[in-house]
Structure 1
């Protein structure tokens, strides 16, 4: 009986050991599975406060908002992750130096969204993006994308602060927070520089500026970032009392404003010569002071249109400073500012010819201190 009892006890002990080992292995397997799951995803908070689960390593981004393709490019230092962009962004790409800097962006899809920001979900799904960037006013798009299993982040846009927050968001999405922070610091330093110039600007006469979007006479109004840029550079936006971003006006109103300077946006093909030569039917620009003094400018265009809040906004402000108050903004060379920014932040060395192309030197009046 003693031997039988001992054998039974040994069998029980062996069984318990096997059970323990099995539980241990299964437990480790579950632990490793959980650990693996944590390592392959991450949570990013977008600009409206949504906590979005997305792949840890984002390699394909579809971008609905127009300027955001260049923000992704600037933070990443490449266009490799841009799978799709808005058709207006693609048009800007085709007309800009970015086509030289990032030729692979030519392959980015530009038909998954239309000019009114309506998304073609079937086409988007075929692209298999890791994440989609959409506007803050598109929660229904976010809902639909979630149903399709596609993460999306919503962004706010319209102010310089929105751009800074947007760059930080992009840095978090593509795991490049330091690069994003460097760009944000550049923007903050630029804002501080212009704040430091405001006292000197008080003693200077202010030029009246008309910021013209197109031949339909849409102009930058009170709530546009263009008003902030003009005022920071020592000018007065003639449309500052009209609420909104871009608003239509009339030729009669422009004659009443009689601006000293006109800046033409890159959102249209309109050029200074079109105004000088009165090429637009029903419009006579000959009596406007800016035409009489040859002060009509085409806004510069770098990796994106300088009219809109974007990566190069500090450069636009410096250019406006040279145009509107060259005596105050006499402590830098615009050419050198451009070259330094592109070298330090975009890792690209501009030639003098490329600088002139960006600044539209072939169609703009000569700025002596540029």
Structure 2
């Protein structure tokens, strides 16, 4: 009888132990599932304004309300996720040609015209803007928003890293890292070629943003950065983008070389600008335009610095084949094959044929 009782006592003790273990395993499994679910739902990303934002682990419906940033998303493999965009096919034909998925998006939506209710109804789970105030306004309406704004080389790369982190895919991460490395290599190459030049050998360059009304880009801009990187000096003694000016002021600056924004076009034959020495000597050019205007705030800046260096110092960069550079860039970063004619049209700031 004592043996019989001991036997059942052992059984009961093992049952209790097993149940405790089962409960413990259940708690661990539940906790793991909860943590996994939290991870799938959101993760922290610090935007360019310094705000830590909980973004979806795999955003599937994006509104990109900053013109320049759409190129970044396309480059990082997220074109099909853009459901609302500030861009439109008329202004950016190359963008919509290489990323036809954008034709399915709602186009031409700016931050100041975006309807939060419409974005919510479209189930937009991530929004990109270029202004901290706009970011806060849309956040207060219940949207997940990242400020992607940048005005310098380092911040441009940091914004790219932030975007790749927000997308959360290996492709975005790897492509962002490849772009960063390509930029570092290109900057080093250009700096080594320009190293022997002193200040007097670096032309004074004026970048005209707009002809009517007359506007130029000054210091503390990305434009100023690529002028300096390409071996020039900014002739404009003003600060910021799109600064209003006069022909008399430009004549006083008397730039050695003039580069025009592709949206401005070239001055007509009767324009007083044509009397400037730079125009008279043929020392001027219209900046190229592809997916985005190379001279502004898009990621074709990598091409712009090479193009500008060749414009300003043709003898030092005679071996740089810009047609091939454009084709290689589009294949590498947009997974798109350009013909030589396509590349030539981009270099001439012309739309697709």
In the alignment, the residues of structure 2 paired with residue 328 and residue 209 of structure 1 have an alpha-carbon distance, to the nearest angstrom, of 17
- Change over 3 Å in CA distance of 1:298–1:24 after alignment to 2: same
Answering whether residue 159 of structure 2 is matched by residue 166 of structure 1, we say yes
> Does residue 239 of structure 2 align to residue 238 of structure 1?
no
The corresponding residue for 2:310 is 322
Structure 1 pair 64/178, CA: closer, same or farther in 2 (3 Å)?
Answer: same
CA distance in 2, matches of 1:361, 1:36: 49
In 1: Cα distance, 2:137 partner to 2:29 partner: 34
Question: Deviations along 1:42-100, whole A, 9 cap, x unmatched?
Answer: 22232333332222112222122221110011122x511112222xx336x74342222
* Secondary structure, counterpart of 1:52 in structure 2: strand
Q: 1:186 aligns with which of 182, 187, 191?
A: 182
Match of 1:331 among 315, 319, 333: 319
Residues 230-257 of structure 1 deviation map (CA, whole Å, 9 limit, x = unaligned)? 2222223220x21223311111112222
Structure 1 contact 84–112 (Cα < 8 Å) conserved:
yes
Partner of 2:345: 357
**Residue of structure 2 aligned with 1:276, choices 232, 249, 268:** 268
Match of 1:366 in 2: none
CA distance in structure 2 between the aligned counterparts of 1:302 and 1:42, rounded to whole angstroms = 34
Alpha-carbon distance between aligned partners in 2 of 1:203 and 1:27, rounded to the nearest angstrom: 70
CA distance in 2 between counterparts of 1:203 and 1:162 reads 27
Displacement, 1:152? 1.8
Question: Aligned-pair RMSD on alpha carbons?
Answer: 3.2
**Cross-structure match for 1:90:** 88
Q: How many residues align?
A: 344
- TM-score w.r.t. the length of structure 1 is 0.81
Q: CA contact under 8 A between 1:101 and 1:348: conserved in structure 2?
A: yes
The residue aligned with 1:247 is 243
Alpha-carbon distance between aligned partners in 2 of 1:145 and 1:203, rounded to the nearest angstrom: 48
**Aligned counterpart, 1:141:** 135
Q: CA deviation at 1:316?
A: 0.4
Corresponding residue for 2:126?
131
2:284 is equivalent to residue 296 of structure 1: yes
* Partner Cα separation in structure 1 for residue 13 and residue 310 of structure 2: 88
- Structure 1's unaligned 5+ residue stretches are 364-370
Q: CA, structure 1 residues 296+199, in 2 after alignment: closer, same or farther (shift >3 Å)?
A: closer
Q: Does 1:225 align with 2:217?
A: no
* 1:197 match: 193
Q: Is the 8 A contact 2:230 2:306 kept in 1?
A: yes
Is the partner of 2:259 in helix, strand or coil? strand
Q: Distance in 2 between matches of 1:112 and 1:339?
A: 30
Question: Are 1:164 and 1:187, in contact at CA under 8 Å, matched by a contact in 2?
Answer: no
Runs of 4+ with >6 A deviation: 12-19
Q: Distance between the aligned counterparts of 1:96 and 1:162, measured in 2? A: 27
